[in-house]
Structure formats: structure tokens, C-alpha cells
Amino acid sequence: MSLLSYFFGSKPKTASVAKERLSLIIAHERTTNRAPDFLPALQRELIEVISKYVNVGVDDIKVQLEKQDNCEILEVNITLPEQPTR
């Protein structure tokens, strides 16, 4: 197998591995590090309000700000429990 790949040059290139890893980590860090300061507070208050009505935990609410060119998208993702408690 290694002999075959030697002849056909199908050895995985490390540069493309590097590029793929970087594009993932940079995209991730751009959303977390460059988020405006109010996001954590917003997330906390949202949890407070929503948990008044639905039984949700801290991890069930995700607040993210995404930037696409000149357009900013505030994405609030709330995972509701299977059965509302009440």
C-alpha cells in the first residue's frame, strides 16, 4: 500500500491538513473572541426570563453573533425540553 501510494503520490499533504484545521479554529475564534461585550449578559438574562416559563438550563441557550460582510446576525438558539414542566 505504501509502495503504491509512493508511486501514485497519494501521500496526504500536511499543508492542506493545516489549512483545514486553521479555517475551523479561526472561524470559531472569530465568533467567540470578537463578540461584543454584552453577549454574556444578554445570554444570562435570556436564561432568567425563559426559565420563568420553561425549564431550561444554562447550556440550552446559545447566543451567537455572526458577521457576513456588512450584515450582522444575532442568533439565539433555545433548546426546549421534551415536555414543558407545568
Partner 1 sequence: MARVIVVTSGKGGVGKTTTSASISSGLALRGFKTAVIDFDVGLRNLDLIMGCERRVVYDLINVVNGEANLNQALIKDKHCENLFILPASQTRDKDALSEEGVEKVLKELEHMGFDYVICDSPAGIEKGAVMALTFADEAIVVTNPEVSSVRDSDRILGILQSKSRRAIEGREPVKEHLMVTRYSPKRVEEGEMLSYKDVQELLRVPLIGVIPESDDVLQASNQGTPAIHLKDSDVATAYQDVVARFLDEDRPLRFVAYEKPGILKRLFGGK
Residues at the site binding partner 1, with contacts judged by CB under 8 A:
13-16, 18-19, 21-23, 25-26, 29-30, 33-34
CA distance readout (Å), 25 to 20, 29, 50, 72 = 9, 6, 31, 20
Phi, psi (rounded to 5 degrees) for 77: -115, 115
User: Over 58-74, what HEC string results?
Assistant: HHHEEEEEEEECCEEEE
CB-wise, 56 or 65, nearer to partner 1? 65
Least separation in angstroms between residue 10's CB and partner 1 is: 11
Least separation in angstroms between residue 76's CB and partner 1 is: 23
Least separation in angstroms between residue 16's CB and partner 1 is: 7
CB-wise, 24 or 80, nearer to partner 1? 24
Residue whose cell numbers read 465568533? 31
